Amino acid sequence: LFFGAIHLPLWSEHERGFLSIDAISAVLDRTVAAEIRDSENCKLVYAYEDCAVATFAAAEHRRIPRLYDLPIGYWRIAQRVFAEECEREPEWAPTLTGMRDSNEKLARKDEELRLATRVVVASTFTKSTLAEEPHQRSVTVIPYGAPPVATNEIANGGTKLKVLFAGSLGQRKGLSYALRAVELIGKENCELTLLGRKAVEGCRPLDQAVRTHRWLPSLSHARVLLEMCQHDVLIFPSLFEGFGLAITEAMSQGTPVITTAHTAGPDVIDDGIDGFIVPIRSAEAIAEKLGLLLRDRERLRAMKISAREKAQRHSWENYRRALVTMAQEVMIS
């Protein structure tokens, strides 16, 4: 990421550059595998997607349990969703960068799943995508945590609804549907802030969007939380998400979220209480919920309070405890 940012693209080129994430992950994988082969005390291995093949092979040889952290859904389902989206929204297709993985990289993902003893995911949606994975390993869902909740007084808000979109600005996040929903509500009724870097350069509708709306390409995490706190609602209409940390981050700041079932939304949101779950690819459904909050400010205030209360129950400490408990179960099973 750093070398890409300082314009050394050949060094950091996807899969090929010797300083690409893929190359660095491969070095880490081989290094950990060597440690496992030489260690007498290793009782459990925990590895992440794209850097686990050699590690898991070494651990399997020594009959060491292998936990596989899968941060996003099964790649075959992702490719299907993205291919559909390229047909539906061809102008946004360049932003679907997940279509670039080589066959070799995709085969390694399958091999990692085959070698895993158990798969750990952060959402029920991610687990559901593994139903088509041929090896059918045991899968445990442990939702990620939320930051400490904000303690400031919840404001009543102004005349316009302050709407936030947070995340990589591209079509995997459902950005075109968020933009259309805001258009349906009308600029006289809401203000949209786009928070995140562009997924790619040279995408015409994306370039138009960042010119039209308030755009914050990059902020510190503290500033991100502050922006969330200063908005009425987060729209997060992702098409394919492993979790969506922006959801729990926004809720921790008292900002209810409109999201889809292709995220961790159903795991952390009570629909209509502290947020809304809408179908993917539906600007109309998003606009309907925005209109409801625009008209009923008392309900919006109640949802803000409920969002904070829910986030408090999804702490990172609870996540750590659940992860440790699961790892202990695997070691003694």
- Per residue in 126-150, pLDDT (tens digit) is 999 999 888 888 999 999 999 999 9
Where is 23: in which H helix or E strand? helix 21-38
**CATH classification number, 161-314, choose in 1.20.1740.10, 3.50.50.60, 3.40.50.2000, 1.10.1330.10:** 3.40.50.2000
Please indicate whether the domains covering 42-145+318-332 and 161-314 agree at the CATH topology level. Answer: yes
Closest by alpha carbon to 195, among 145, 154, 236, 248? 236
Q: Are 297 and 160 in contact (CB under 8 A)?
A: no
Residue ranges per domain, the chain? 42-145+318-332, 161-314
- Per residue in 51-101, pLDDT (tens digit) is 999 999 999 999 999 999 999 999 999 999 999 999 999 999 999 987 778
pLDDT band for position 8 (50/70/90)? low
The class that CATH gives domain 42-145+318-332 is: alpha beta
The amino acid at 330: V
Average pLDDT, the chain: 93
Q: What is the pLDDT of residue 287?
A: 99
Question: Could you give the CA distance from residue 137 to residue 43 in angstroms, rounded to a whole number?
Answer: 20
Give the mean model confidence (pLDDT) for residues 218-238.
97
Question: Could you give the CA distance from residue 47 to residue 248 in angstroms, rounded to a whole number?
Answer: 24
Cα-Cα-Cα-Cα dihedral sign, residues 133, 137, 138, 141: negative
Question: pTM here?
Answer: 0.92
- Compute CA 230 distance to the chain's CA centroid, rounded to the nearest angstrom: 22
Question: Could you give the CA distance from residue 23 to residue 12 in angstroms, rounded to a whole number?
Answer: 9
Q: CA separation (Å) from 223 to 57, 134, 248, 265?
A: 42, 43, 16, 23
Closest by alpha carbon to 272, among 310, 240, 239, 241? 310
- Per residue in 22-43, pLDDT (tens digit) is 889 999 999 999 999 998 899 9
